[in-house]
Structure 1
Amino acid sequence: MKVSLESEITLYPLSIQKDKKNYIVEEPISGDFFELPEISVDAIRRLDKGEGMAEIEKVLKEFYPEEEVDIIEFVEQLVELGLVQEVDGVQVHRGKEKQAKSEGGFLWIPQWVGRLFFNRKINKVYLLLLAANIFILILNPELFPHYKDIFLFDSMVLNVLTYLLISLVLIVIHEFGHILAIRSHDLPANLSIGNRLIFIVFETDLTQAWKLDPKKRNILYLAGMSFEQVILFLSFVFMLLFPDAYFVGILSIIVLDIFIKTVYQCCFYMKTDVYYVVENATGCYNLMESGEIYLSSFFKKSKMDHKKMFEDEWNLIRIYSVFYIIGVFLTLFLTVLYFIPQLYYMFTTIYLNIMGAGDRAAFWDAIAFLVQTMLLLILLVYLARKKRREN
């Protein structure tokens, strides 16, 4: 379908709102969101008013003398994005109805329920609990999680199953925080399963958060961690009040799991909840991609003028790149402090039991553990392949 300066363009109904730097444009039929600069939004609004393309191009060149204006190319891009409904009265067949995204689940949760957990007063409580948890750890270093905290029983299978069950429950609570937060704004959410590094995770689709003001989005991104701070605080309190209780071992696993996941949230080489907060606060929505381009330039012979490429985001991207590298070291820190010692302890114990160091029950426990490990690896490979296909 050819587009010319004489073409009459009909767009799908679009919702436009001002963001940090540019504008967020929503196409309600598909539920897609796009970040566009002011000149693009100006062009869209003029197209909606029925102004001719030649006239629009002339006006834009006058209003934006520093910009390169090509209205035909711009409209062709809108067609590719699926934002154009008709060109010269001819329907643009993009399968919009087939591409349309469902409104999402959890609409059965009333908005007022979400607001019980996420409002101005309660949000401050979550922040206070974060400070309190840090303070408790400083005063009680013995509460700092240890890699052996997951080994409650002689049975390695039981240890792994207990840890996985506790971790699964905490993941569900974390994601339910996101769900309640977005429902507090009467918006839908979708829940899916995926993996991050070696962890199987549930992921809440917060795409609809783009409808909100940038400041309100941060609450949605931090909602899961907010719920974790409540659980962490209660765990610390019970551990201090009842240090010899039988359930302290379970609480130690909870503390360990939340600690590891909290540290991972600060690994900016992954798109974690904290990463999205930083991205949202800066208004730079391709921060990771730009940072990776900048860092990769140090390993290439040909040097590009990245300062010119990134323009006003140059200093921000350099700062982010530092935190990107820190995130890699945080991962190495967790690996050395927790994962390697845990794996060494587990497989050393399993090896000794298979070689006959333990009784018959310990031998079959070791065999069951190896089968359990194989099933987990198969699941991780499946999820990784599924994610690659989707990408």
Structure 2
Amino acid sequence: MTDIEAEERPRIRPSTRVVLHDLAVRRDRDEWIVGRMATRTFVAMPVVGARAVELLGDGLSVARTAAMLREETGEEVEITDFVRDLAALGFVARIGDCPIPDIEPPRASLPRLRPPHARFALHPALPVCVGALLVAAVTALICRPGLRPGYRDLLWSPHGSLVLFTGAAAGWALVLAHELAHLVTARAAGVPGRMRLGTRLQFLVMQTDISGIELAPRRHRLTAYLAGIALNLCVASSLVLILALADTGPTAHRLLSAALLLALMPLPFQLMVFTRTDLYFVLQDLTGCRNLYGDGLAYARYLSRRALRSLRPGRTTGADDPSTRLPPHERRAVRLYSVVLVVGTVACLTFMAAVTLPVDVTLLVRAARGLGPEHGLAREADSAAVLITLGGINVLWVVTRWRNRPSRRAAAVT
């Protein structure tokens, strides 16, 4: 740190008082979650840290806060460094007479949607209604097996480009509705939320950042995490009941069946918890882990380095096991998750290299060859549709991956 930087930092004396921004606090097991909803910045603190925040927020000086903590805990707490840490997080508005520059809060999606507008999403009766709708649909499928859709229903038209475009449009509409369910539920809990494109391994996805939901009660947290899956199940169940009760023609029946399949197809992806899907956040919450993915990745890297060292005798032991710094309940979950993370990631990337990539390249090459004056109009239109749809998705994946690379963090992104 230079002399100029040291002079710019406000001096913290024993008599200094600080003014904190509006902070939210929630107890979680043996720690406290402290955060600022405006900037979506949250940290886990021990009990003494949360108590220090409370005392500083009540207007006590640095010296008085340290004295109170010493009386209550019998330990010496370095409040000066603690205040600087809070300021670095954006939790401090003023130190003494010196205001602290504030950081720009992230933009929220649909800012006009207020918590009172979305309160219905957290009503206790809503999960009961979802469950009843799902039971009714399952009962209809059991009683009438002919309603079960098959892959041929996706090919409802002989024109491949029409099937491709309508499938893409319906699929992305369902993806948007899925993420909107997360956003609405989080907004009902007072969390701003932001929807954007993202990547999970080789997949292009729409994701919703609902950082701040960590401060909500567990029922609200789990509801926000599972809202997207519930939306897909509601859409699929409604389509099953329409097929069972309405007298539809053959084309309408196949269109409804195709929409039913499109609503159900994303659900197996949710089981891929190694890509931080909705069920990953449910798993992380139920296991009480702070950063299941990050800690699991760190442990997997430690094991890989240890395996490499065992193949090279005489090498130093290197870094210690990072999981030993975690509480016992987190340590067990992280070690198990690291196995799922490695196996799942390797399987996904292997499938991409062996199947997905060759298929995409073949389709793109065929589509490129199908363009030209020597081919008919129908062939050219079909080739153009493949190039626009498939090529556009791959280009969008690359652009999204590049734009999001600096901002990888352990936020609640469903």
Q: Does 1:305 align with 2:309?
A: no
Q: 5 Å matches for 1:1-391?
A: 1=9, 3-4=11-12, 6-21=14-29, 22-27=31-36, 30-60=39-69, 63-64=72-73, 69-92=77-100, 94=101, 96=102, 99-101=104-106, 105-108=110-113, 111=116, 114-115=119-120, 118-129=122-133, 140=145, 143=148, 146=151, 150-185=154-189, 188-238=192-242, 245-301=250-306, 302=318, 304-312=320-328, 313-325=330-342, 327-328=344-345, 331=348, 361-391=378-408
Report the count of equivalent residues: 385
**Which one is further off, 294-303 or 177-186?**
177-186
Counterparts in 2 of 1:133 and 1:196: CA distance versus 1, 3 Å: farther
Deviation at 1:276, TM superposition (A): 1.7
Rate the CA distance shift 1:64–1:359 in 2: closer, same or farther, 3 A. same
Q: Distance in 2 between matches of 1:113 and 1:310?
A: 37
Percent identity of equivalent pairs: 21
Kindly tell me: are residues 331 and 111 of structure 1, through their superposed partners in 2, closer, same or farther at Cα, counting changes over 3 Å? Answer: farther
Deviation string, structure 1 residues 161-200 (Cα, Å, up to 9, x no partner): 1111011111122123223323444654433333444554
In 2, are the aligned partners of 1:156 and 1:366 still within 8 Å (CA)?
Answer: no
After TM superposition, the score normalised by the length of structure 1 is 0.79
Contact 1:5/1:53 (CA < 8 Å) preserved in 2?
Answer: yes
Choose 291-300 or 148-157, whichever is displaced more.
Answer: 148-157
Contact 1:25 1:34 in 2 (8 A): yes
| Kept after mapping to 2: 8 A contact 1:214/1:281 | no
**Gap runs ≥5 in structure 2:** 1-8, 307-317, 409-414
**Other-structure match for 2:412:** none
CA separation of 1:49/1:25 partners in 2, compared to 1, >3 Å: closer, same or farther? same
Equivalent residue, structure 1, for 2:314: none
Structure-1 residue corresponding to 2:411: none
Aligned residues of 2:155 and 2:163 also touching (Cα < 8 A): yes
- Give the distance between the partners of 1:251 and 1:45, measured in 2 at CA: 56
2:24/2:36 contact within 8 Å kept: no
Report the residue type matching 1:246 in the other structure. Answer: T
Question: Residue 49 of structure 2 aligns to a residue in which SS?
Answer: helix
Shift of 1:8: 0.6
Instruction: Quote the RMSD (CA, aligned, Å).
Output: 4.1
Letter of the 2:207 counterpart: E
Please give the alpha-carbon distance, in whole angstroms, between the structure 2 residues aligned to 1:145 and 1:197. 28
TM superposition shift of 1:35: 2.8
The one-letter code matched in structure 2 to 1:174 is: H
Change (3 A) 1:285 1:328: same
Structure 1 residues 359, 60: closer, same or farther in 2, change over 3 A? Answer: same
> Helix, strand or coil: the match of 1:261?
coil
CA distance in 2: counterparts of 1:181 and 1:13, whole angstroms: 25
**Alignment deviations for residues 69-105 of structure 1 (CA, whole Å, 9 cap, x no partner):** 432322221121122233342223x2x1x51345653
Tell me if the contact between 1:109 and 1:183 (Cα under 8 Å) persists in the aligned partners. Answer: yes
Distance 1:86-1:183 versus aligned 2 partners, 3 A rule? closer
Cα deviation for residue 42 of structure 1 reads: 1.1
**Is the 2:156–2:251 Cα contact (8 Å) retained in structure 1?**
no
The residue type paired with residue 49 of structure 1 is D
Q: The residue matched to 2:286 in structure 1 has which SS? A: helix
TM-score, structure 2 normalization: 0.75
Cα 1:129–1:338 change in 2 (3 A) is farther
Which range moved further: 324-333 or 154-163?
324-333
Comparing 81-90 with 167-176, greater Cα deviation is found at 81-90
Report how far residue 239 of structure 1 moved: 5.1
For the structure 1 residues 83 and 179, does the alpha-carbon distance in structure 2 shift closer, same or farther, using more than 3 Å as the test?
closer
Encode CA deviations 1:311-356: one digit per residue, 9 max, x unaligned.
Answer: 3321121233344356447847986999589759956975896799
Query: Post-superposition shift, 1:290?
Result: 0.6
Per-residue CA shift, 1:269-295, capped at 9, x if unaligned?
Answer: 222222222223333221110111112
Cα distance change of structure 1 residues 144 and 152 upon mapping to structure 2, 3 Å threshold? closer
Cα distance in 2 between the residues matched to 1:196 and 1:243: 39
Give the superposition deviation at 1:309. 1.5
Query: Contact between 2:199 and 2:205, CA under 8 Å: does it hold in 1?
Result: yes
